[in-house]
Structure 1
Amino acid sequence: MTEQPLRVIEICAGAGGQALGLEQAGFEHELAVELDQNAVNTLRHNRPQWKVVQGDVADLSVWDPADYAPGPGRFPIDLLAGGVPCPPFTIAGKQLGATDERDLFAWAVEQARTMKPRALLLENVRGLSMPRFAGYRQHVLDRLQELGYAAEWRLLQASHFGVAQLRPRFVLVAMEPADFAYFHWPEPAGEAPTVGETLLPLMSINGWRGAEEWAEKANDIAPTIVGGSKKHGGADLGPTRAKRAWADLGVDALGIANHAPNPDDEFLVGPKLTCEMVARLQGWDDNEFKWIFTGKKTSNYRQIGNAFPPPVAKAIGIAIRAALNRTTDRREHDLDTAHDPIYRALRDNGDFMTAAQIIRATKLALEPHELERRIALLSRDFYINICNGKAATAYKLGQFKAFLGQEDHVRHEQFNQHRTKIS
């Protein structure tokens, strides 16, 4: 019996990297929501049959998650997916987390309460996996448990799924416990091709005589491609360290070329990449993952560079589909991972705790200054009430600072103020 396609709603869909991968994994898009008009144009060009809406995903006038909640004659959406903005968590940024107006991760989790999808897939940058965001991650897991979901985080490398690029992505998958028991993270698919192997057909398309020699030098996978944002200038391949890595591969990272090299072209460092070449390094191709990007070069590059590689999305999508259809073996998941024991101790206690009480509750061997540092990190995403008593300082966990959909949240003013620069 043929499995029926599963329905997905994708938020912060970008130009379609995750969308295409999920489609290849057997999901049909009920809706795709994206802020950037250029990316929306690309989605509509490639899939005119999809319902694609443009605007702030948290604006109820753009779309209302309640419209997709289960009810009389309406089955639940199978998957709520999205690549919510990464600047709040990126290592190269300020890591403002919950106080960044672009942060939509916690908001996306809250939509599970309204929509009750069978599964949730959210991905972001590696920075979210760092100690800085341990409390944030713990809150997400605890909140999903309150909503009736089992969930896990996993750091996945794009190069493990045939993508010629070092592109770590931190992925959250959640499902109802009965389905999650059948979820297995996708296994690596083998060694990734090198930059040279991947790009030789495109580098030689205009007859460049140096293509073969160049491909032999480009004998490793690429560093992470950085799409950038509207806040920064034109397209190039990343910060200084990345540019050095590109130079070692024979690639000039100071910009994007309009076309492949001509027959007699010579280069001091090497040729620049075209948008088509960057797309190939992100996992798009001329066969399974064929896609056309609309708009001008800089916009194309940002759409491509900020995308989730389609082969990785496909691999995760297949794993989610298999769990929802229960076509895999059942397994036990360790779902009680403590990302931040200090957060948990303060949350479970619900009252003021001294440093000594926190250390006893967590069984952590921490010096006072280290405990203070950990609480200071926690205070960046949560309000921490501090009581300076005669005997010892005590701490109490306050509200989460993140935008969860509150009408009076500071996020609205900040978002509207910076809207033209958010991408």
Structure 2
Amino acid sequence: MLEPRGEPKDRTSVELFAGGGGLAMAVHRAGFRPLLVNELVKWACKTLEANQAELRSDEEFVPPAGHAWPLVPGDVREINFDYLWDQVDLLAGGPPCQPFSLGGVAKGEEDRRNMFPEMFRAIREIQPKAVICENVQGLLRPSFRPYFEYIERELALPFEQREGGVSWREHDAVLQARLSEAPADPKKRYEVVTIRVNAADYGVPQIRNRIIIVAFRCDLEVDLTRFKESIAPTHSEAALLRSIQNGSYWRKHPEVPHHVREHVESRLPKAIPFDDGRLPWLTLRDALKEEIDRRWPLPPVPWDKLDRREYQLGGVLDHIGWPDARIYQGHTPNELDRPAKTVKAGVHGVPGGESVMLTDDLVSELTANSPPRYRHRYMTVREVARVMTFPDRWILKGPRGEQMRQLGNAVPVRLGEFFARAIAAALDEAESRR
């Protein structure tokens, strides 16, 4: 990754569609100071308030360094951004993905929940140096691909506003013509980079396939080639398989029963790719133990405590056992020695409904003629938060279902921080040449 040059700069950000705070936290960790944070959902707003945000009054102001995140709750369509003109380094947000996700109704651009137009309005009113958006890979499905390419062109030319009554296809034709011309004002054009990512490839203990869209204002002349090089994946499945095979993975986890190790090793592929120079994917076991951010292992959840009672096991926030976990066809559980499955906001109407995990505990005694069978349970909210790389101190407000929904809709903090740091470094390098 590119490294920031010289003294750290006072970088600023605006966060839209903040949800439970994953991307906002990531951007803040990367050195950006939030000037405004917006979210619509009540429980997500309460989560933000319980951590680093405070409700902003009706007065519009630019907060000084060290100020809490100014939270403006409510519909983004009712927010004015003009007072932040030319004062924002990074505009960040994940416009609601339901219009484009496989789990949603997939109406795409016709869905009223499509908030990309509000991102473009914010750009017109703020003129940030850079933009980052995260969304589902459903945007790249063949049925949505033409509209996604239109989104990319809108992001490149956000000041070429679509007029009422003009279809997106008509507007897209105008944008394509403009992009073939040299920009009259480079401050009003952006260079756009779209990246397919699997969060596991960036040190997140979860298989999570998404797209990240980054845009830089053209007048800055950011070196896009160097930026793309700086965001190359850092972890791989092949490295994890090698670490299991050579035993280095097990040396990190000496507590693992021998029958678990044998079972995992028996399913290794016969041919494991050669060293690719990356670090091993992190696993669910890594997340629950101390291998990520040097945290303490989460205490075990006793089988007689799966009763929704707030024992706060080991004094850990939201580490509460939950009953009635089931495994059935099409609903496979998480395995400890693989990255977790994608954390989802809702499955068949149940927030976090697929967050079931196999444990190291056997259902019955081992026999010579059958593979081991392991007991399973629902993951606690805190375990899911660790899979999303949220810090243990981050308070999630609302009942379990709302907490799980916030996590499922979030950007993994470690993934967002990686890209936000790369953006900061690219801006530093571009500005050092000016």
TM-score of the pair, normalised by structure 2 = 0.61
Q: Which sits farther off after the overlay, 267-276 or 298-307?
A: 267-276
1:186 aligns with 2:231: yes
Q: Within the alignment, does 1:165 sit opposite 2:206 as a pair?
A: yes
Further displaced range: 190-199 or 77-86: 190-199
Is the CA contact 2:206–2:339 (under 8 Å) kept in the aligned structure 1? yes
1:106-162 CA distances to partner (integer Å, 9 max, x unpaired)?
Answer: 331232222211111111011112222221122122223334111011111111121
Secondary structure, counterpart of 1:270 in structure 2: strand
Aligned to 1:41: 46
Q: Which residue of 1 aligns with 2:394?
A: 291
Question: What is the CA distance between 1:325 and its match in structure 2?
Answer: 1.0
CA-CA distance at 1:236 after TM superposition: 3.5
2:416 is the counterpart of 1:313: yes
Q: Distance in 2 between matches of 1:207 and 1:297?
A: 19
Retained in 2: the 8 A contact 1:109–1:140?
no
Determine the C-alpha separation between the residues in 1 that align with 2:430 and 2:299: 42
- Give unpaired runs (5+ residues) of structure 2: 1-5, 54-67, 158-187, 236-279, 290-296, 305-333, 361-372
Residue 386 of structure 2 is matched in structure 1 by: 280
Q: Which residue of 2 aligns with 1:223?
A: 341
Aligned to 2:155: 144
**Aligned counterpart for 1:57 among listed residues 45, 53, 76:** 76
Q: 1:69 to 1:179 in 2, by over 3 A?
A: same
Maintained 8 Å contact 2:352/2:408:
no
Change (3 A) 1:207 1:141: closer
> Is 1:155 aligned to residue 160 of structure 2?
no
Give 1:112's aligned residue: 123
Question: 1:258 maps to which residue?
Answer: none
- 8 Å contact 1:25–1:321 — kept in the other structure? yes
What TM-score results when the alignment is normalised by the length of structure 1?
Answer: 0.63
Percent of matched pairs sharing the same residue: 31
Please tell me the residue identity of whatever aligns with 1:293. Answer: L
Instruction: Provide the residue aligned with 2:251 in structure 1.
Output: none
* Shift in Å, 1:296: 1.9
Question: Does 2:216 align with 1:175?
Answer: yes
Q: 1:29 aligns with which of 34, 42, 50?
A: 34
Task: Say whether 1:202 aligns with 2:207.
Answer: no
Matched to 1:326, the amino acid is E
Cα distance in 1, alignment partners of residues 335 and 21 from structure 2: 31
**1:57 aligned partner, one-letter code:** V
RMSD (CA atoms): 2.9
In 2, Cα distance between equivalents of 1:270 and 1:329: 54
Tell me the SS of whatever aligns to 2:118: helix
The answer for unaligned runs of 5 or more in structure 1 is: 71-75, 209-215, 252-266, 331-423
The answer on whether the counterparts of 2:284 and 2:335 sit within 8 Å (CA) in structure 1 is no
Q: Once the 2 structures are TM-superposed, how far is the Cα of residue 99 of structure 1 from its aligned partner?
A: 0.7
In the alignment, the residues of structure 1 paired with residue 222 and residue 107 of structure 2 have an alpha-carbon distance, to the nearest angstrom, of 31
Q: What's 1:131 paired with?
A: 142
SS at 1:316 equivalent: helix
Aligned to 2:16: 11
CA contact (8 A) 2:223 2:430 kept: no
Secondary structure at 2:402's aligned position in 1? Answer: helix
* Alignment partner of 1:235 out of 351, 358, 382: 351
Correspondence for 2:84: 68
Residue 203 of structure 1 and its aligned partner are, at CA, apart by: 5.1
1:225, 1:237 within 8 Å by CA — same for their partners in 2? no
- Supply the AA of the counterpart residue of 1:113: R
* Structure 2 letter corresponding to 1:299: E
Measured after TM superposition, the shift of residue 207 of structure 1 is 9.9
Give the C-alpha shift of residue 198 in structure 1.
1.9
Deviations 1:174-216 (A, max 9, x none): 01233432533522232222112322532526699xxxxxxx9
CA contact (8 A) 2:352 2:401 kept: no
Q: CA separation of 1:144/1:234 partners in 2, compared to 1, >3 Å: closer, same or farther? A: closer
Is the CA contact 2:20–2:47 (under 8 Å) kept in the aligned structure 1? yes
Secondary structure of the residue that 2:133 maps to in structure 1?
A: strand
Structure 1 residue 297: Cα displacement: 1.5
2:3 aligns to what?
none
The number of residues matched between the two structures is: 290
Which letter does structure 1 place at the counterpart of 2:288? L
Shift of 1:237: 3.1
SS of residue paired to 1:321: helix
> How far apart are the structure 2 equivalents of 1:10 and 1:236?
25
Q: Distance in 1 between matches of 2:122 and 2:145?
A: 22
C-alpha distance in structure 2 between counterparts of 1:279 and 1:328, whole Å? 36
Residue 387 (structure 1) aligns with: none
Counterparts of 2:205 and 2:431, CA distance in 1: 29
Shift of 1:81: 0.6
Alignment deviations for residues 14-66 of structure 1 (CA, whole Å, 9 cap, x no partner): 0110011111111110010000111111111111411001101112xxx2022
Residue 306 (structure 1) shift: 1.3
Q: What SS class does the counterpart of residue 53 from structure 1 fall into?
A: strand
CA distance in 2, matches of 1:18, 1:10: 8
Match of 2:428 in 1: 325
Distance 1:65 1:279, change over 3 A: same
> 1:371 maps to which residue?
none
Q: Provide the C-alpha distance between the structure 2 equivalents of 1:294 and 1:69, rounded to a whole number of angstroms.
A: 33
Partner AA of 1:193 in structure 2: L
Could you say what secondary structure the match of 2:148 adopts?
helix
User: 2:405: which partner in 1?
Assistant: 302
